[in-house]
């Protein structure tokens, strides 16, 4: 008995020591990250395995295991450093902020060696030479170069070099996607005319697909390199020498051959001589920040439009649902209730994916805005139906009886007596939902809508300016929702009938 008590105390002590040790870790890390990696015996590398082929992705035959040329590269690199490699999953366009936060030691995930990235973090010598590739549907002709893309809708990966290239060309309509699978799905769904991606992605996804083709020769070559925190100079040196060794002894070539990614361009890896990279992180001036404002306001208009249309749909559809539920015949009542329960019991995100990417499979192809309005509207309709039900049931039974006693039909009773009174009861909860929807619209960025939160994410990530842009964005949200709240108060007062 006393023995087990002592054991337990020992366990508590151990836990306390471990917790304390971990608390102190970050301060040690700041001094020397390489030393910490060696002590821990683990190189933590950040990457996005969601739709991440051929870089790093779940093995189709053993989905619990990761494969990919970067996965093998990370393993080899860790071996060179004398540790093991652990992948840390992170959304691709937020890798640099996550590195800043210390979620992992390095970024190894198709990060391009650009001046812009080098202003924010340190970057290793390159490990791969990529190029841009246009992908189209197999029957499309004539889109073999950048100049052919004028006035075409082109999909790109959010935060990629391709996105930056298209932003610089004025005549292309580009759409940003969080992952590659979605871009190719939309290309096949004819929402896009072409996709501009890094060559390895095109090779992996588009080449085996009979509906797609690689159109024209690759162009605009560039380097992938490993992202490291600026202060980790010893880690940078260690990684650079490891990469140099792997380029020299053909271990890189062996990995790339395996994934059909080796081409004559890779010769440049062994011959690479670093140029002087900009090392200082520029200050963001007030003027630059004011420059974000038009972009944010434009996105705010999208958010407002989405909310207003989706709420209008929700308010009307919700009414239909509650009427069917309360006054329909047996099976219809059951269906209406089932709708409410299923919609409430499943995530909005999945509903949006089903509408945007699922419906095209059965021939219904909606643009992103319509899909977003439909998804949000049908989702909130369930909630509005419940609000109405509470409102209708709050009207005393005597009201219905008095109307029926006058000879009104059930519909006339509802229309003339119950609903006008219920309207006032439901204004506060419906307003509440409307304001909640303003904020829920941020979720539709997953189906390529650039609304306020998405715009914030893009601006903040590319400028590493989360606080100021965040406050500006929050201010705009508040500026939109507070008037809605005032309007509801006014409406509620106007509909008062107990003037005493």
Minimum distance from CB of 493 to other proteins (Å)? Answer: 14
Minimum distance from CB of 409 to other proteins (Å)? Answer: 7
Minimum distance from CB of 421 to other proteins (Å)? Answer: 5
Specify the residue, 287 or 499, whose C-beta has the smaller distance to other proteins.
499
Minimum distance from CB of 412 to other proteins (Å)? Answer: 5
Specify the residue, 306 or 403, whose C-beta has the smaller distance to other proteins.
403
Q: How far apart are CA 434 and CA 423, in angstroms?
A: 15
Specify the residue, 354 or 404, whose C-beta has the smaller distance to other proteins.
404
Specify the residue, 241 or 412, whose C-beta has the smaller distance to other proteins.
412
Minimum distance from CB of 418 to other proteins (Å)? Answer: 10
Specify the residue, 423 or 484, whose C-beta has the smaller distance to other proteins.
423
Among residues 300, 281, 285, the alpha carbon closest in space to that of 472 is found at 300
Minimum distance from CB of 499 to other proteins (Å)? Answer: 6
Specify the residue, 363 or 407, whose C-beta has the smaller distance to other proteins.
407
Minimum distance from CB of 331 to other proteins (Å)? Answer: 16
**Token output for 363:** 């021939």
Cross-strand partners of 194 = 136, 154
Minimum distance from CB of 305 to other proteins (Å)? Answer: 33
Specify the residue, 211 or 406, whose C-beta has the smaller distance to other proteins.
406
Residues near other proteins (CB under 8 A) are 396, 398-399, 401-409, 412, 416-417, 420-421, 424, 497-500
Minimum distance from CB of 399 to other proteins (Å)? Answer: 6
Cross-strand partners of 224 = 112, 128
Minimum distance from CB of 103 to other proteins (Å)? Answer: 58
Specify the residue, 295 or 408, whose C-beta has the smaller distance to other proteins.
408
Specify the residue, 96 or 324, whose C-beta has the smaller distance to other proteins.
324
Minimum distance from CB of 398 to other proteins (Å)? Answer: 4
3-state SS of the chain? CHHHHHHHHHHHHHHHHHHHHHHHHHHHHHHCHHHHHHHHCEEEEEECCCCCCCCCEECCCCCCCEECHHHHHHHHHHHHHCCEEEEEECCHHHHHHHHHCCCCCEECCCCECCHHHHHHCEEEEEEEEEEEEEEEECCCCCCCCHHHHCCCEEEEECCCHHHHHHHHCCCCEEEEECCHHHHHHHHHCCCCCEEEEEHHHHHHHHCCCCCEEEEEEEEEEEEEEEEECCCCHHHHHHHHHHHHHHHHCCHHHHHHHHCCCCCHHHHHHCCCCCCCCCCCCCCCCHHHHHHHHHHHHHHHHHHHHHHHHHHHHHHHHHHHHHHHHHHCCHHHHHHHHHHHHHHHCCCHHHHHHHHHHHHHHHCCCCCHHHHHHHHHHHHHHHHHHHHHHHHHHCCCHHHHHHHHHCCCCHHHHHHHHHHHHHHHHHHHHHHHHHHHHHHHHHHHHHHCCCCHHHHHHHHHHHHCCHHHHHHHHHHHHHHHHHHHHHHHHHHHHHCCCCCC
3-state SS of 340-399? HHHHHCCCHHHHHHHHHHHHHHHCCCCCHHHHHHHHHHHHHHHHHHHHHHHHHHCCCHHH
Specify the residue, 208 or 398, whose C-beta has the smaller distance to other proteins.
398
Minimum distance from CB of 423 to other proteins (Å)? Answer: 9
Specify the residue, 335 or 404, whose C-beta has the smaller distance to other proteins.
404
Specify the residue, 208 or 407, whose C-beta has the smaller distance to other proteins.
407
């Amino acid at each position: 008995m006393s023995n087990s008590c002592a054991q337990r105390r020992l366990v508590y002590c151990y836990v306390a020591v471990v917790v304390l040790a971990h608390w102190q870790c970050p301060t040690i890390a700041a001094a020397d990250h390489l030393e910490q990696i060696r002590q821990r015996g683990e190189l933590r590398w950040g990457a996005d395995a969601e739709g991440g082929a051929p870089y790093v992705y779940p093995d189709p035959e053993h989905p619990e295991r990761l494969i990919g040329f970067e996965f093998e590269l990370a393993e080899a690199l860790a071996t060179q450093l004398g540790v093991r490699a652990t992948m840390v999953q992170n959304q691709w366009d937020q890798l640099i902020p996550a590195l800043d936060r210390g979620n992992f030691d390095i970024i190894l995930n198709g990060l391009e060696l650009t001046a812009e990235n080098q202003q924010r973090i340190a970057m290793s010598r390159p490990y791969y030479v990529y190029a841009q590739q246009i992908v189209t549907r197999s029957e499309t002709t004539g889109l073999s170069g950048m100049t052919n893309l004028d006035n075409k809708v082109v999909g790109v990966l959010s935060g990629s070099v391709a996105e930056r290239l298209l932003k610089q060309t004025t005549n292309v309509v580009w759409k940003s996607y969080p992952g590659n699978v979605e871009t190719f799905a939309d290309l096949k769904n004819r929402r896009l005319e072409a996709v501009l991606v890094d060559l390895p992605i095109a090779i992996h996804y588009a080449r085996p697909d009979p509906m797609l083709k690689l159109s024209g020769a690759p162009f605009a070559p560039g380097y992938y390199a490993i992202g490291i925190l600026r202060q980790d100079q010893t880690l940078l040196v260690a990684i650079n020498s490891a990469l140099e060794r792997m380029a020299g002894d053909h271990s890189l070539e062996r990995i790339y051959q395996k994934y059909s990614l080796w081409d004559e361009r890779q010769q440049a890896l062994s011959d690479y001589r670093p140029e002087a990279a900009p090392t200082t992180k520029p200050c963001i001036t007030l003027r630059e920040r004011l420059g974000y404002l038009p972009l944010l306001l434009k996105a705010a208009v999208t958010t407002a439009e989405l909310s207003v249309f989706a709420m209008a749909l929700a308010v009307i559809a919700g009414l239909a649902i509650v009427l069917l539920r309360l006054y329909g015949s047996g099976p219809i009542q059951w269906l209406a209730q089932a709708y409410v329960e299923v919609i409430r019991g499943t995530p909005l995100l999945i509903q949006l994916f089903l509408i945007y990417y699922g419906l095209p499979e059965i021939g219904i192809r909606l643009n992103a805005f319509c899909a977003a309005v439909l998804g949000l509207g049908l989702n909130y309709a369930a909630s509005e139906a419940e609000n109405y039900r509470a409102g209708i049931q709050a009207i005393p039974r005597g009201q219905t009886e008095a109307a029926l006693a006058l000879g009104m039909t059930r519909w006339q009773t509802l229309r003339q007596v119950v609903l006008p009174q219920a309207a006032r009861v439901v204004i506060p909860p419906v307003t509440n939902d409307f304001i909640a929807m303003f904020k829920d619209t941020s979720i539709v960025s997953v189906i390529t809508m650039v609304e306020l939160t998405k715009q914030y994410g893009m601006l903040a990530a590319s400028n590493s300016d989360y606080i100021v842009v965040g406050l500006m964005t929050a201010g705009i949200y508040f500026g939109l929702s507070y008037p809605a709240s005032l309007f509801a108060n006014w409406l509620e007062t106007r509909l008062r009938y107990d003037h005493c």
